[in-house]
Structures are given as C-alpha cells and as structure tokens.
Structure 1
Amino acid sequence: MKSNQEEFLKMLSAYQSIIHKVNQIYFRSKADKEENFQEVVCQLWRSFPTFRNKGKPASWIYAVAINTSISKIRKDSRLKFSDNIPDVATVDPYEQQEWDENYQKLINVLYGLNEIDRFVMLLYMEDYSYEEIAEIVGMSSSNIGVKIHRLKAQLQKHFNSNINGSK
C-alpha cells in the first residue's frame, strides 16, 4: 500500500496543474476551486488502482477532473452560467500565476460555453491532438475537428466584435 501511495503522490505532484487548469475554466470562487480540487484528488485515488500504467497520466487526469467538475456543476444548482458574465476583477492567489487581461477575457468567454465545449477548448489550448481529445471526450476525431473549428470561429467572432465595438 505504501508504494501505491508514493506512486500516486508523485504522479499527483507532477500533474496537479491539470486540475488547477480545469478548475480555472469551470469555477470562479476560491472555495469552489479548492472543494473541487479535493474531490478530483479523491476520485483519482479511488480509480488509481485501475489506471496504473494503462495510458497517459495527463489524459486520465484530465478525464477524471472534467467528469468530476461537470458532476459538481450539475449537482450544485447555485452555479448557473450565463452569457452576461461579469469581468474577473482580481487574480486568484490560489492559482499562484499571473493572468494577463487577454487570458481573463478568454476565460470569461469560455464560461459562456457548455461544459463539453469548455473541456474540448481547454484540451485544444493544451495542444492535445484531435485524436487524443476524442479519446478523452468519447467522440470521433472528425466530430472533434468540426467542434473545434466551430468553437474557434465563435471565439474569433466574439473577440472581433469586442475589438470593433471598443474603437
């Protein structure tokens, strides 16, 4: 059991930034991010014996983190995402990273997407291939390609309208 714990903690230490990225995309408050982080770690630990050496740890962690996050959102009726999301006023010190203004704007736009689209775009921004995204999400790579193409067009349209509207 000790070696399982050590192996798990080593892997978690190496890949915990994935959980933080997923939390950044799905949750706004520090409390929700911390709560979800703990739940993701718990789910990873529960499923660790079945995962061991059966694929890429990063893909597995993304899948668990996303599924756990979506479950939390669906269970938590007080979390409603709308098109009129206010700007993020401060940087969350929990993340311990400095986010620039464009990144915050992107995050705000991503909040307006449904859970699956947010997840697909997160993986795409992390340079996962269409095939890897398809494997994690459970769709065909051609469907992922179409989805990403449409999402990129939607994001481009949003940013272009904000640029033209601010002149």
Structure 2
Amino acid sequence: MVYYKNTVDREDNFQEIIYQLWKSYPSLKKRDSIGSWIYAVSINTSIARLKKVSRIEYRTTIPEMPDKDHFIDEISTNESLKLLLEAIYNLDALDRSIMLLYLEEKQYDEIAEIIGISKSNVGVRINRAKQSLKQHFKKNSYGRL
C-alpha cells in the first residue's frame, strides 16, 4: 500500500508479486527462510514495477503530488499511524522498504538479506531515515506521536 496509492495499481502489483513468487519458487535454495524470500520478491517486484512504469509513462505536464490524504485515510483512523505513514511515504523507495521492515521488527541481518544490501548499510539507512522522519515531524509541528 505504500508503493501504490490506488486500489487498481495495488491489485495489479499484488498479481505481479504472486506471479514472480510462483515463477521463481523452483529456484529457491533456502526453504527454511521462505518469509524473507517472500519479502525480497515482493519489495523487488514493487520497486522494479515502479521504475518500469515511471520510464514508460508519457507525461505532458509535471505530475502533481499524489493524494496522500486519500491513501492514508484508507489505512486507518488512528491519527498517529496516519502521520507516521505519511512521513514514511515521503522517503525514497528503498528507505521506505527498509523502514517498513524495521517497523515489523525484522532484524538488521534479515532486512539486509531481503533488500540485498549489507547489514551495516541497513543500520546507516535506518538512522538516516529516522533523522528524516524527525525533521518531517518537526517541520510539520506534529510534536511527539
């Protein structure tokens, strides 16, 4: 839901993820870490699809900022969660993925395996994303959540 704001795009992406999982399952070597593999395929498929769509899409005007309010309203009525998701939505795709995994209490080494970067890079990106989120909250005068 963080990558695609409208329902149709989310459903299309979900179908693409299922297809990629089905297609690549025979080549899965570590069957004991299937959860991490599903995360990795899902994130990589979503990011690749975003890149592909942005390259192909012809634009006659500069696109407006997506309607985050509508997207956030779909998720929850919890105000703190809405504010956090709005802030995370403003991160780049890789940092967004890392922070969502971090919020799901995944360990750094598991995040590194899913995303395909080093464990130390995960730590650096999480710290930078936290700083970015803090700045976002200060700038928007949200105070403490």
What's the TM-score bracket when you normalise by the shorter of the two chains?
Answer: 0.7 to 0.9
Instruction: Count matched residues.
Output: 136
**Runs (4+) off by over 6 Å:** none
- The one of 60, 77, 89 aligned to 2:70: 89
Q: Distance in 2 between matches of 1:163 and 1:148?
A: 22
Gaps of 5+ in 1: 1-23
Gaps of 5+ in 2: 58-62
Match of 2:13 in 1: 36
Amino acid in the other structure paired with 1:38: Q
Shift of 1:115: 1.3
Q: Is the 1:130–1:141 Cα contact (8 Å) retained in structure 2?
A: yes
Q: Is it true that 1:25 corresponds to 2:6 in the alignment?
A: no
Shift of 1:127: 0.5
Shift of 1:110: 2.0
Q: Is the 2:43–2:115 Cα contact (8 Å) retained in structure 1?
A: no
Q: Is it true that 1:130 corresponds to 2:111 in the alignment?
A: no
Shift of 1:133: 0.9
CA RMSD of aligned residues (A): 2.6
Shift of 1:102: 2.2
SS of the residue corresponding to residue 32 of structure 2 reads: coil
Shift of 1:84: 5.0
Higher relative contact order (CA closer than 8 Å, sequence separation 6+)? 2
Amino acid in the other structure paired with 1:108: E
Q: Structure 1 25/51 Cα, relative in aligned 2: closer, same or farther at 3 Å? A: same
TM-score, with length taken from structure 1:
0.71
Shift of 1:111: 2.2
Match of 2:123 in 1: 145
Q: Distance in 2 between matches of 1:164 and 1:83?
A: 24
User: After superposition, where does 1:60-99 map in structure 2 within 5 Å?
Assistant: 60-77=37-54, 78=57, 84-89=65-70, 91-92=73-74, 98-99=76-77
Amino acid in the other structure paired with 1:155: L
